[in-house]
Amino acid sequence: MTGNLSNRTREPDATAAPRTSRARLAVLVLLYAVCACIALYAFVRPPGMDAYGKARFGDTIYGRAWRPFAGRVLLPWTVRGIVAATPEPANQAIARRVRALFNPDGEPNYIEEYPYEFAVTVLLLFACLLGFALSLRRLGVLALERHDFVPDLVPAAALLVLPTTYLYMSYVYDFPNLFLFTLGLVLVFERRTTAFCLVLALASANKETAILLTLVWLLTSGTAVPLGRRFGLAVLQVLIWAGIRAAIELVYRHNPGATVEWWHLRGNLMLAPRILSNFVNRPLLLLLRQWGPKLVALAALVGFFAGLKQAPWFLKRAAWIGVPLFALALFMGSLEEARAFYELYPIALLVLVSGILKLGRKHAQDSQARNRT
């Protein structure tokens, strides 16, 4: 009981987590790899990464997409670098194999046109999912202060639930966003400042919302970092983010579109009337098929807010990023797309798990009390 109370009232101690044995880690990596393949298959199956006209797969990789998609450059630039460094004979040989395996009838067109780029992208996305799972496990061990099977199973569940968040289309920056943001949370918890600044730089090249990691750092640094050093590090992080984003904006300033898509606001404001209209005018089975995942997400959201009060210290502080994330989603995404809130995904999952564990302990204590009486 003391451990649970201290988790809520004191700043976290990253040194308390023991090392995982190699055998256990190998089994977990295999489990996460299987779950990642399931999540990845649902992500790339047609139309997959080529569904949106302003962010076609080839246009995204080669910098021709509309803004803001063109400015999310981490994975596209990595893919282009690997393709450029590959000898042409090897490139052609891999392209033939990819076409035969994934595109024997010439559809979808983007795999036919960019087979090697597709293969490299899929491998990088798989690596990001695996990195996300391992980072989420580490965050669970640290934030929940548990070293049993619970932090082991949370990433597997997170990967299997992930396909329910693919509402309309898939973007190549989604999984890097999940991985880098979760890894950033781990590094904030462990107070590894140099590594954190490096991850922040990579995350900034991937998506504009990386600056929310600095907010988490400020909210959770507490008294562990002297005020002057805290201010200096915060300024450094903002400069890293602003410098990278400004350079990217300069590179793609002539692409069509805008950094902020103001038209999203109109669609988000009309979301509630549209939902009400759907429930009134559509058959129940069709509604369950279309809105089932959203209702599950709504139930999870209710559970998240219910468990937030008793959540561990770090998760409670980090959850405040949900406020600016919601505000950003009004102008830069669709509120009905869960992928617009991937930055909050690892935090929300662990808050839910923490709440479920506390309910389980309370039920066990109540049962013991009844048995004694």
Which pair of tokens denotes residue 213? 């990691």
Q: What is the pLDDT of residues 304-362, one digit of tens each?
A: 777 788 889 999 999 999 999 988 887 777 777 778 889 999 999 999 999 888 887 77
Mean pLDDT calculated for residue range 82-100: 94
Position 52 pLDDT exceeds 90: no
- Cα angle at 353 between 147 and 184, to 5 degrees? 70
Residues 6+ positions from 321 with CB-CB distance below 8 Å: 212, 215, 216, 343, 344, 347
- Phi, psi at 257, each rounded to 5°: 95, -170
Q: Which pLDDT band, with edges at 50, 70 and 90, does 297 fall under? A: low
278/186: higher pLDDT: 186
Alpha-carbon span 132 to 161, nearest angstrom: 14
pTM for this entry = 0.88
**Is the pLDDT score of 373 beyond 50?**
yes
pLDDT classification of 302: cutoffs 50, 70, 90: confident
